[in-house]
Structure 1
Amino acid sequence: MWDSQRIADLVRGELTGDSQVRASGCCIDSRGVKAGEIFFALVGERTDGHDYIEGAWQKGASVVIGEKERLEHRREVRVPEGKALIRVESGLAAMQTLAQAWRKELGAKVVAITGSNGKTTTKDMVAAVLSEKYRTHKNLENQNNELGLPMTILKATENTEVLILEMGMRGLGQIAFLCDIACPDIGVITNIGTTHMELLGSQEAIARAKWELIEALPETGSAVLNGEDEWSVKQAEHDSHRTFFYGLEGRFHEPDLWGRSLTPFGTLGTCFQAEMGHGDRSLVPLGEKQAASSVTVRLPLPGEHNVLDALAALSVGVLLNVSLEEGCRGLAAMELSRMRLELQPGPGGSTLISDVYNANPTSMKASLQVLKERGGESTLAILGEMYELGQSCRAGHYEVGQTVADLGISELITVGPLAEEIARGALEKGLSPQRIHSFPEREGAIKKARELLAGLNQGTWVLIKASRGMKMEEVTRALRKD
């Protein structure tokens, strides 16, 4: 990447030690430092990276970036021979500045992804599609904030051709800030839902916050949007960027790329037909003409929501001259980030669907559809609380309960006080009270799940889902242990 003097100049820091030592990549945990990396001594809630500077050098870090104020109150740091220390006002700001500079120097295309649901899965799918033709680099897991995104960029190697960056947000201006670092060429919005209602207060504010991604695109940039999402279509009506829509029915906008003829295949897969639309194709190609206008996709994931995410990924591929056939191959072999629709063996021959990274009403209902589709007449839903729903909190939980009843889920276990609204919704929509079991904590839910699975049919399917703060992976771990 750069030598230490160049790094110090970029961050306007004070350099001590070797001014010509080379560094590339970055790390914030001294235990995981690799030779030649930059170690950022950041201050966290529980730890202070300045306590581990010497350890980082010993592990192989070439350059350490520390904060002046923190270093002033410590014994003098002795910089080893062939190493460098750069003092800055803010370690995080220095990281963001370096990431912005590295993104521009790389010259790679940048695909940025946001949305209320499915952005991490879509990020993984986009990487799978584009990796068929390009050298790609993406966020690990959902490292999508003001710390994770610059770290992702700095870890990209010099030969990276496409950066795929997930962007999260918790308020207005946050996606715009991330875009200022990443400078995206293509923006993908999976949908605009009610997640973060608690923080932003209205659907309109959520839409404005998400749309910061599209507003940040250059004039030549492209927006990839969900034609089944009303708010995305509304926002696009007032935007001048090139738009590419995908969808299953075209409820709010005719898709440029359709998904048709969805059928289950294998244990947890979906087979569907991806077809290019027949509208004004002048909006679509940025380069070569597609080799085929229709392909059969065998996606190793269930449900319409995952098919929509796959269509988003294939759409990005179309815009970057990856054929539908190539994208199809990539999707068939894709790898997902952890804790999303993981299949685990459960007690009594049951199958656990552990989808515990996050939850909101839309994703909860989609996962329940998958549970019913796969489990048929023998299903158990273990559902915990959903956070950040604001004034729609009670209604959101209640609607999920109604979906449980409408789908005819065999047994329902809820975890946490908020999730009692799920139970109420299921009860008032007609699910038998004998099939509804509510618990304030995970331990009671685990015990009841074991009892139920001992009496249900072999081959029962179990969905475990809640917001991340509920730590429902403990439920998965306990049942899998059985």
Structure 2
Amino acid sequence: MIAFTAAEIAEITNGRLDADPEITPLSVVTDSREATPGSLYVAKPGEYADGHDFVGAAFGNGSTLALMERPVAGPDGENYPAVVVEDAVLAMGALAAEAVRRIRAARQAAGQQFTVVGITGSAGKTTTKDLLAGVLATQGATVAPQGSYNGEIGVPLTVFSADSSTRYLVIEMGATGIGHIRYLADMVKPDIGVVLGVGTAHAGEFGGVGNIARAKGELVEGLSATGTAILNLDDERVAAMRDRTQATVLGFSAEGRTGAGVQAVKPDTNPAGNPEFDLVLPSGEPDLHVSSKLIGSHHVGNLLAAAAASHAAGVAGRDIAASLSTQTAASRWRMERTERADGVTIINDAYNANPESMRAALRTLADLGRGRRTWAVLGAMLELGPESIREHTVVGTQVVRLNISRLVVVGREARPLYVSAVQEGSWGDECSFAETIEDAYELLNAELEPGDLVLFKSSNSVGLRHLGDRIALPPQAPVPASEGSEQL
């Protein structure tokens, strides 16, 4: 972390200093349980809890300073050392922006390069971030988000992990409204901006797909004339963003689009479902082959995006292809494959879901499941707004047309998916509706057989990723009544 004294934090955030001005935090946390000796605790109001209620716990764990919106008194009646600001989250952003500026200045003064890469899109952000970070880490010190730290809190926390030794800073950018990505781009000033796709995720919150495209394009609008915009030319809405940036445009395509400098030639999947292709880069380097360890043909686009961004960052093609061919999934619940000892295969892709990623996961299930009994355990896709019933209906129809053996729909919000599957011709044992996750667990635990292939897919808050984890464990035999309860 770049060092800031309490006095500097107050100046940068326009806050009121109520602490020793020389206190210099060693890290930044927003969860009091993660506080360590010397940390700065950010007391932010939350949806379910107010961080100010945990200031004492943070200091008990070693925090030496807090960034808060009102003073908090300790057991002795004295206020905890703090910088008091109007908005703690915006103050975090201001501090992160200054950290990026200082890192860039320090490295330039030392004759060293510093590259910031921003990634956005309706699907694939985390996978692409992980892939890109994996490539860049072979070239120099690289900082990237944990999991899906991609918002107004997660992005600053990622920045605070960087310092003057950082060569590459990879930032994942999410949004739920117009202006969110512009705010993040203004904060980190990316040199390279990657836009993966414009889907229907969060369409309800945005007010339509057009507004999603407008929001995602804020990333390339924030690039300077010396920057590079990496655009998915297979997505018409993304391709149109070339007119919204002053940066150099580098397009990528898995479908042979004209003008794409980065392409996948002869893309295919092997019997294990891993994508393979010959990689074409603008440098014209020959014999670049990518044989990925990820699961699903839909990852070709993510692999190409990571390759394009790596090329823009100056990485040689042979190093890009080699790294992409060795990396496995770095973040949990993204097409995560588990082989049970009894021969059941679990594919847990339930970190999140939207219509595009749901269809891609189901196609992968169908491809991998040839000759096996396949199960699709599906929950709701949230935040789709007025399109929710229609999109769930389309997925239910797709399950039947892909000849998935068994469908288990979990939760009332996903019921239109179940209804459409029944109407398409799936009934009896082929299609089941489970009111709760526990009901689904009992059904699966009782009926899964050796050789079955099971996909779990839903939006994050539905919780099917945890059901997938439970099913990935050895099957639980029912407890006999004589052992599990007293007989009356």
The TM-score normalised by the length of structure 2 is: 0.88
Please give the residue correspondences for 1:114-263 in structure 2 after superposition, counting only pairs within 5 Å: 114-237=120-243, 239-250=245-256, 253-263=258-268
Q: Compute the displacement of 1:353 (Å).
A: 0.5
Distance 1:198 1:47, change over 3 A: closer
Distance 1:330 1:37, change over 3 A: farther
Please give the residue correspondences for 1:50-61 in structure 2 after superposition, counting only pairs within 5 Å: 50-61=52-63
The corresponding residue for 1:465 is 457
Distance 1:347 1:392, change over 3 A: farther
Distance 1:363 1:98, change over 3 A: same
Residue-by-residue CA offset, 1:98-118 (whole Å, 9 max, x unaligned): 011101111132111111111
Q: Compute the displacement of 1:16 (Å).
A: 3.5
Distance 1:74 1:9, change over 3 A: farther
- 1:349, 1:460 within 8 Å by CA — same for their partners in 2? yes
Q: Give, in whole Å, the separation in 2 of the partners of 1:478 and 1:130.
A: 35
Is 1:441 matched up with 2:469?
no
The corresponding residue for 2:33 is 31
Q: Give, in whole Å, the separation in 1 of the partners of 2:63 and 2:127.
A: 33
Please give the residue correspondences for 1:37-48 in structure 2 after superposition, counting only pairs within 5 Å: 37-48=39-50
Amino acid at match of 2:11: D
Q: Give, in whole Å, the separation in 2 of the partners of 1:36 and 1:294.
A: 51
Most deviating of 70-79 and 59-68: 70-79
- 1:28, 1:40 within 8 Å by CA — same for their partners in 2? yes
| Matched position secondary structure for 2:352 | coil
- 1:394, 1:418 within 8 Å by CA — same for their partners in 2? no
Q: Give, in whole Å, the separation in 2 of the partners of 1:47 and 1:421.
A: 34
Distance 1:419 1:43, change over 3 A: closer
User: 5+ unaligned residues in a row in structure 2: which ranges?
Assistant: 105-113, 476-488
Please give the residue correspondences for 1:277-296 in structure 2 after superposition, counting only pairs within 5 Å: 292-296=285-289
The corresponding residue for 1:100 is 97
The corresponding residue for 1:284 is none
- 1:132, 1:327 within 8 Å by CA — same for their partners in 2? no
Q: Compute the displacement of 1:360 (Å).
A: 0.9
Q: Give, in whole Å, the separation in 1 of the partners of 2:355 and 2:329.
A: 25
The TM-score normalised by the length of structure 1 is: 0.89
Q: Give, in whole Å, the separation in 2 of the partners of 1:293 and 1:2.
A: 48
Q: Give, in whole Å, the separation in 2 of the partners of 1:422 and 1:452.
A: 21
Q: Compute the displacement of 1:95 (Å).
A: 1.1
Distance 1:347 1:437, change over 3 A: farther
Is 1:77 matched up with 2:93?
no
Amino acid at match of 1:28: T
Q: Compute the displacement of 1:215 (Å).
A: 0.8
| Matched position secondary structure for 2:399 | helix
Q: Compute the displacement of 1:238 (Å).
A: 5.2
Q: Give, in whole Å, the separation in 2 of the partners of 1:122 and 1:270.
A: 14
Q: Give, in whole Å, the separation in 1 of the partners of 2:382 and 2:43.
A: 32
Residue-by-residue CA offset, 1:393-438 (whole Å, 9 max, x unaligned): 1221122122212221111111123423323433444445541112
Q: Compute the displacement of 1:389 (Å).
A: 1.3
Q: Compute the displacement of 1:346 (Å).
A: 4.5
Q: Give, in whole Å, the separation in 2 of the partners of 1:117 and 1:17.
A: 44
- 1:397, 1:418 within 8 Å by CA — same for their partners in 2? no
Q: Give, in whole Å, the separation in 1 of the partners of 2:402 and 2:436.
A: 25
Q: Give, in whole Å, the separation in 1 of the partners of 2:434 and 2:77.
A: 54
| Matched position secondary structure for 1:462 | strand
The corresponding residue for 1:356 is 350
Amino acid at match of 1:466: S
Q: Compute the displacement of 1:258 (Å).
A: 1.1
Q: Compute the displacement of 1:451 (Å).
A: 3.5
User: 5+ unaligned residues in a row in structure 1: which ranges?
Assistant: 282-288
Distance 1:390 1:250, change over 3 A: farther
Q: Give, in whole Å, the separation in 2 of the partners of 1:250 and 1:203.
A: 25
Distance 1:420 1:42, change over 3 A: closer
Q: Compute the displacement of 1:476 (Å).
A: 1.4
Is 1:87 matched up with 2:84?
yes
Most deviating of 135-144 and 3-12: 3-12
The corresponding residue for 1:270 is 275
Most deviating of 312-321 and 296-305: 296-305
Q: Give, in whole Å, the separation in 2 of the partners of 1:22 and 1:336.
A: 33
Q: Compute the displacement of 1:41 (Å).
A: 2.1
Residue-by-residue CA offset, 1:42-68 (whole Å, 9 max, x unaligned): 233444333443443443334322223
Q: Give, in whole Å, the separation in 1 of the partners of 2:156 and 2:177.
A: 19
| Matched position secondary structure for 2:223 | coil
Q: Percent identity?
A: 31
Residue-by-residue CA offset, 1:107-152 (whole Å, 9 max, x unaligned): 1321111111111111111111111112111111111111111121
Distance 1:13 1:201, change over 3 A: closer
Name which of 314, 317, 326 aligns with 1:321: 314
The corresponding residue for 2:333 is 339
- 1:346, 1:479 within 8 Å by CA — same for their partners in 2? no
Q: Give, in whole Å, the separation in 2 of the partners of 1:50 and 1:430.
A: 55
Q: Give, in whole Å, the separation in 1 of the partners of 2:148 and 2:242.
A: 26
The corresponding residue for 2:484 is none
| Matched position secondary structure for 1:134 | coil
Distance 1:324 1:433, change over 3 A: farther
- 2:231, 2:238 within 8 Å by CA — same for their partners in 1? yes
- 1:38, 1:64 within 8 Å by CA — same for their partners in 2? yes
Q: Give, in whole Å, the separation in 2 of the partners of 1:57 and 1:158.
A: 28
Distance 1:392 1:264, change over 3 A: same
Amino acid at match of 1:303: G
- 1:348, 1:453 within 8 Å by CA — same for their partners in 2? no
Most deviating of 261-270 and 111-120: 261-270
| Matched position secondary structure for 1:22 | coil
Residue-by-residue CA offset, 1:177-200 (whole Å, 9 max, x unaligned): 111212111111110011121122
